[in-house]
Structure 1
Amino acid sequence: MRAPYLMFVLIASLGVSACSVGQERDISMRQLDKPGEGPDEFGILPSRPLEAPADYSALPTPTPGQANLSDRDPIAEGIAALGGNPASRAATGVPASDAALVQHASRNGVAPDIRSTLAAEDKDFRTRKSRFTKIRLFKTDRYAEAYKRQTLEPYGEWYKYRRTGVQTPAAPPRGE
């Protein structure tokens, strides 16, 4: 008595979900909703205090949509905090110190459209992996599950290289 009822419910739910085949499917696998009612620490935007410039004639012309002098640049601040040169972010092209690395990496040729090719392949991959992601009982993050086969297991690789005699830096113990 109960089995036919459950079978009917299963077939009906699959039939209803099949009705959305023609629509654009949501292929995002990240579940980034706020987990609770607590504060959103990313909503706070502290900025630097206002300061008078030394020479008002040296100020740039205001341009709508562009950054101004009081805007923070968290990436440059992070580079400076770690002892780097924040001005190196503004440089374009390959630095002279990395020219040999770029030359060696491109020795077998460079595909000029690699970014668009990878974006299209990744979109196809996410489309395949997101087939049944709308059928959920709980909100879950499916990203790690989908890309699990492409994830490198660092300790396995570390031990493999150590067994072959390659000198490897020390690694912290596993956090298990």
Structure 2
Amino acid sequence: MPRTLIILALVVLTACSSREESGIRETNLKQLRNPSGTPEEFSIVPNKPLETPESFAQLPPPTPGGANRTDQTPLRDAVAALGGSPSRLDPQAGIGAGDQALVARASRFGRQPGIREDLAAEDQEFRERRSLFNWRLVPTDTYNRVYRSQRLDSYRALDAARRAGVLTPSAPPQ
């Protein structure tokens, strides 16, 4: 009997565990990591091939701790492959001319610096309040369970829009 109680206590304690990352407590909403401990086959990417410039005067000055010309840049490569401009990804580039009107309209009532960190902290507090007495013996993906009450029912919104007289020619099928 005492052995059973000890095992039960250990199971309960491990069910309450979480981990700290970047100063914000994370409760594993979505598991996108490889849990097996083996190398992830999609994260192993070879370096770009070395290139010899026509003139060594064209070489940029070395930047200790900076990026190497042969380092992989998957986001920039994807933007270029889709026809975009990878230079727009640089933080120094600022807001592009095509997006300035959108940013001006979205920030017409002001912008709050650090909004992402504030929202992450508020979201963490919300999830902790919701999960206070909501633990399970088997770890599960809790994202949908925690945000179930905030989910939008698309068909109920569609019916409300139709009752209001809004034309909905491209409504999703039932």
Q: Is the shorter-chain TM-score for this pair beyond 0.5, marking a shared fold?
A: yes
d(CA) in 1 for partners of 2:110 and 2:134?
A: 39
- CA drift at 1:121: 0.6
- CA drift at 1:53: 1.7
d(CA) in 2 for partners of 1:54 and 1:171?
A: 58
Equivalent residues in 2 for 1:83-102, closer than 5 Å: 83-90=83-90, 92-102=93-103
- CA drift at 1:94: 2.0
Are the counterparts in 1 of residues 28 and 141 from structure 2 also a CA contact under 8 Å?
A: no
Are the counterparts in 2 of residues 50 and 70 from structure 1 also a CA contact under 8 Å?
A: yes
Secondary structure in 2 matching 1:97: coil
Unaligned residue ranges in structure 1 (runs of 5+): none
Aligned to 2:144: 144
* Corresponding residue pairs, total: 159
Equivalent residues in 2 for 1:8-27, closer than 5 Å: 13=9, 17=13, 27=27
CA 1:33–1:73: 2 relative to 1, 3 Å: closer
Aligned to 2:56: 56
Aligned to 1:159: 158
Secondary structure in 1 matching 2:46: coil
CA 1:34–1:97: 2 relative to 1, 3 Å: closer
TM-score by length of 2: 0.65
Are the counterparts in 2 of residues 47 and 71 from structure 1 also a CA contact under 8 Å?
A: yes
TM-score by length of 1: 0.64
Report which structure shows greater RCO (CA 8 Å, sep ≥6). Answer: 1
CA RMSD of aligned residues (A): 4.0
CA 1:31–1:88: 2 relative to 1, 3 Å: closer
In the alignment, residue 155 of structure 2 is paired with which amino acid? G
- CA drift at 1:60: 2.2
Are the counterparts in 1 of residues 77 and 86 from structure 2 also a CA contact under 8 Å?
A: yes
